[in-house]
Amino acid sequence: MMKLVLFPFQLNRSYIDHLNIDFDEILVIEHLSFYKRYPYHKKRIALHHSAVLHFVDTYQKKYPIKHLLIEDLNDFYNIYNDPRIYMFLPNDQSDIDFIKPLTEVTYVDDPMFIVSREEWKSLLVKKPWKMDTVYRKLRHKHLILMDHDLPIGGKFSFDAENRKPYKKGLHFHEPLTFEIDALTQQSIDWTNALFKDHPGSLDSFIYPVSNTQANQALKHFINYRLSTFGDHQDVMIKNEPYMSHALISSSLNLGLLNPMDVIKEVEQAYHDGLCSIEPAEGFIRQVLGWREYIRGVYLMTPDYHKKNALNHHIPLPSFYWDANTDLSCLSHTISETLENGYNHHIQRLMVLSNYANLIGVKPKEVNNWFNSMYIDSFDWVVTPNVMGMGLYADGGLMSTKPYISGASYIKKMSNFCDGCKYDPTIKTGEKACPFNGLYWNFIDNHKETLKPNPRMSMMVNLLDKMDSETKQNHLHLAQLHIKSIK
Ligand SMILES: Cc1cc2nc3c(=O)[nH]c(=O)nc-3n(C[C@H](O)[C@H](O)[C@H](O)COP(=O)(O)OP(=O)(O)OC[C@H]3O[C@@H](n4cnc5c(N)ncnc54)[C@H](O)[C@@H]3O)c2cc1C
Ligand code: SF4
């Protein structure tokens, strides 16, 4: 009896076909503990469960496939500890721990990532690791957007063209959304019954839950939204949660989409004249570059959760769970997190983790929050993004500087400051935006770490040259603000 056991995030027929084995039974497993590792957003739970139900429903006519909601773990470990059982290796440490008792099972590397586990050992050698180096190698190896040995368009990255600031009147094509069907309603009811105290709302539900829907969403993105991806990628606008972002991360991470297929379709769209090279390259860099790199960094970094290079120990403010703050950028962003289980990249990086880093929140608490609150969260993708890129808690293992900013960046890139109680341009008094004092306070606290960093030394020098009254004022406002946080 040859059997295949799939995790609930390996929802693609590539997993079934990859081994060329005629399985007698295929099981997609779930265990309630998978949904209790963090206080997950209700939308995440309902989406993940619905995706499992849809996968089994879609393929049960073609394969001997079943859904197994494991009730007795000991039974499961006894029955399934057999070399004729095949499993694909998961990424998250908690899933690796889950399969530890299954010592006899035949494990196979995950074929849905472009870079294999073995390959990472030679790709991530010289530290600090750089996404760009990996990305170029993958472009060459897989001949993506290449004209023989040269990158199409004359350069590997058009990132510099993708950072236009906020301006009034920007309009974006809406993403494709999906109606709630019977299986999703079943998942919503299941989530509301079992996880009623979890954060987030299930009043609405629009995300793709099946391979078919995920492919439709991707095609819609390519046809209507890809051409504007990039230009205003870093902009944040009130009540525009998605803009030209693809909204495919949950589909990729659950296996509903195959990343290489996504890349090829976007490359083809460029060749068909649907978009110029800038958005095509910018998008492919996210999936081929960032997504793969982040997984490689996670696999190659033991004990990532324990890192705290900046020695930060403040608890996460309670408003991260209810959006109850007078800082408009944070209240808008967190309200969207609660409503949608989604924020785009710059909200995650330059509002949520930026603020947590500036006030000195303990990295593990920030990491737990990010693991909890997003439809696309998995520890392998959250942890390097949060501990590495967002907080610099790994001391610069995978990014060259801490991503921090004062109010001027948020004002330039968003309309959050319009109507905020605080003023991003005022430096003293009650109306002064806390981000400015916090920024200089951060530089002051970490000047010994930042001074040798060529990308940060200028800010340390600016602080050194700042007149003492202005500097003291910034530090005083920062301390007052930190003390006021609940
Ligand atoms: C602090 C922080 C936490 C994050 N947490 C998650 C998470 O839990 N799950 C997750 O999938 N992504 C996470 N990201 C990465 C990124 O923000 C999301 O992938 C993206 O916002 C998803 O929306 P989208 O599909 O509309 O992406 P788009 O902006 O349209 O990008 C397309 C795709 O590129 C990939 N991608 C882009 N940037 C990254 C990145 N830094 N890491 C990995 N993949 C990337 C994603 O698969 C994404 O779907 C995080 C980033 C930061 C800074
Ligand atoms: S003024 Fe400050 S707190 Fe208010 S939205 Fe702007 S950056 Fe955020």
Q: What DSSP string describes 120-152?
A: HHHHS-SSSP-HHHHHHHHHHHHT-SEETTEET
| Alpha carbon of 219 to ligand 2 centroid (Å) | 36
Percent helix, strand, coil in the chain, to 5, is 50, 5, 45
Unique residue bearing structure tokens 């440490």: 93
Query: Whose Cα sits closest to atom 7 in ligand 2?
Result: 407
pLDDT, tens only, 322-381: 999 999 999 999 999 999 999 999 999 999 999 999 999 999 999 999 999 999 999 999
In degrees and rounded to multiples of 5, residue 29 shows phi and psi of -95, 145
Unique residue bearing structure tokens 């090279």: 277
Query: Whose Cα sits closest to atom 2 in ligand 2?
Result: 433
Ligand nearest to the CA of 328: 2
162: pLDDT strictly greater than 80: no
Query: Whose Cα sits closest to atom 6 in ligand 2?
Result: 417
pLDDT of residue 427: 84
Best probe residue, ligand 2, of 166, 433, 436, 485 (max atoms within 8 Å of C-beta): 433
- Residue in 91, 9, 15 with CA at minimum distance from that of residue 296: 91
Query: Whose Cα sits closest to atom 8 in ligand 2?
Result: 329
In degrees and rounded to multiples of 5, residue 66 shows phi and psi of -140, 155
Sign of the C-alpha dihedral, residues 380, 381, 387, 389?
Answer: positive
Best probe residue, ligand 2, of 333, 404, 414, 417 (max atoms within 8 Å of C-beta): 417
Where helices occur in 35-124 by DSSP H, the ranges are 42-59, 73-79, 93-99, 117-123
- Residue in 442, 229, 378, 311 with CA at minimum distance from that of residue 386: 378
Best probe residue, ligand 2, of 237, 410, 414 (max atoms within 8 Å of C-beta): 410
| Alpha carbon of 345 to ligand 1 centroid (Å) | 6
pLDDT, tens only, 395-451: 999 988 999 999 999 999 999 999 999 999 998 888 999 999 999 999 999 999 999
Contact residues of ligand 2, CB 6 A cut-off: 327-329, 407, 410-411, 416-417, 420, 422, 424, 433, 435
Ligand nearest to the CA of 175: 1
In degrees and rounded to multiples of 5, residue 446 shows phi and psi of -115, 25
pLDDT, tens only, 176-191: 999 999 999 999 999 9
pLDDT, tens only, 24-49: 999 999 999 999 999 999 999 999 99
| Alpha carbon of 438 to ligand 2 centroid (Å) | 12
Q: Which domains does the chain have, with CATH numbers?
A: 3-108 (3.40.50.620), 117-180+209-301 (1.25.40.80), 305-484 (1.10.579.10)
The pTM of the full predicted model, rounded to 2 decimals, is: 0.97
207: pLDDT strictly greater than 90: yes
Atom of ligand 1 minimally distant from the CA of 349 = 53
Q: Are 227 and 275 in contact (CB under 8 A)?
A: yes
| Pairwise CA distance, residues 439 & 357, whole Å | 10
pLDDT of residue 149: 94
Return the structure tokens found at 24.
Answer: 């007698």
